[in-house]
Amino acid sequence: MTATRLIVFARRPELGRVKSRLAATLGAARALAAYRRLLEATIALAEASGADRLELRLADDGASQEARDTPVPPEAWNLPSVLAARGWSVAPQRGADLGERMHEALSQALSMGERPVLIGSDCPSLSPSDIAAAFAALDRADAVFAPTEDGGYALVGLSAPAWALFDSIPWSTTRVADRTRQRAAEAGLRVEWLRTVWDVDVEADLLRWEAQGG
């Protein structure tokens, strides 16, 4: 049976470098605290998902190619070493933009004969059943997505490399999901869309999560 791999994309939780839209109204310190909580919730989700293998991919924030190819030093931030001790793989994100980085991570897992699904670190509305549904969808589809209320998506999985789904997408806009659907149709790809979820980008989203116990 093909092993499943759940990949989590995240940023280092550093002051002034995460959740800029939250920081615009809450300040950098509160935005950082919120991001840490979101990341903790995402890790808990991943570990409850039932995926065979778990991987944390960290954004390089403009680092050089040499830095991107260097393993994350545990002394810089202890979460990678903590997760590695729990069996996670930890690696840097590689690519010029979000599309390249996601496709590279998914393609690497595919090259190892695995079935990969990738999620971000700011979507507390995702559940283990969503992850399970995504892996199941890859038995019959070339790709699977969980769209978000703001026009993007919070989850993507592939059963084979599909660069067309990531090339020339207007990232960080309300057109991401629509453009992805268009690219899939143009490429003749079979795509399955899961239920619509929501992520935490602005203060209203954070209040929504907190009202639900987050």
The per-residue pLDDT for range 43-54, each reduced to its tens digit, is: 999 999 999 999
Using alpha carbons, select from 152, 120, 98 the residue that is nearest to residue 39: 120
Burial (Cβ within 10 Å: 0-12, 13-18, ≥19) of residue 154? buried
Q: Which two tokens stand for residue 143?
A: 């790709």
Asked if 203 and 154 count as a contact pair (C-beta separation under 8 A), the reply is: no
- Rounded mean pLDDT, 144-171: 97
Tens digits of per-residue pLDDT, 83-96? 999 999 999 999 99
> Which pLDDT value is given to residue 126?
98
Pairing of strands 191-193, 143-147: parallel
For each of the domains in the chain, give its residue range(s) and CATH number, in order of start: 4-211 (3.90.550.10)
pTM: 0.92
> Which pLDDT value is given to residue 14?
87
Using alpha carbons, select from 187, 61, 163, 42 the residue that is nearest to residue 102: 163
C-alpha to C-alpha distance for 117 and 4, rounded to whole angstroms: 8
Q: Is the pLDDT of residue 63 over 70?
A: no
Q: Which residue has the tokens 């403009």?
A: 62
Helices (H), 112-175: 128-137
> Which pLDDT value is given to residue 117?
98
Mean pLDDT value across the chain: 92
> Which pLDDT value is given to residue 76?
45
